[in-house]
Structure 1
Amino acid sequence: MSEAPTYDSGNVFAKILRGELPAYKVYEDDHTLVFLDIMPRSPGHALVIPKAPARNILDIAADDLAHVAKVAQKVARAAKSVFAADGITLQQFSEEAGGQVVFHLHVHVIPRFTGVAMKPAASEMEAGEVLAEHAARLKAALAG
Structure 2
Amino acid sequence: MEVSEIFAVCHVNDVAKRRAVGYVLARINEEGKTVPFPIIIVRHQGKYYAYVNRCPHQNSRLDFEPKSFFDPTQRFLLCGKHGAQFDIPTGVCNDGPCVGAELEKVALVIDQEEVCIAGVQIAEEDGLDREEKDLYPEVVITSD
Per the shorter chain, which TM-score range? 0.3 to 0.5
Structure with a larger share of its residues in helix: 1
Q: TM-score, normalised by structure 2?
A: 0.32
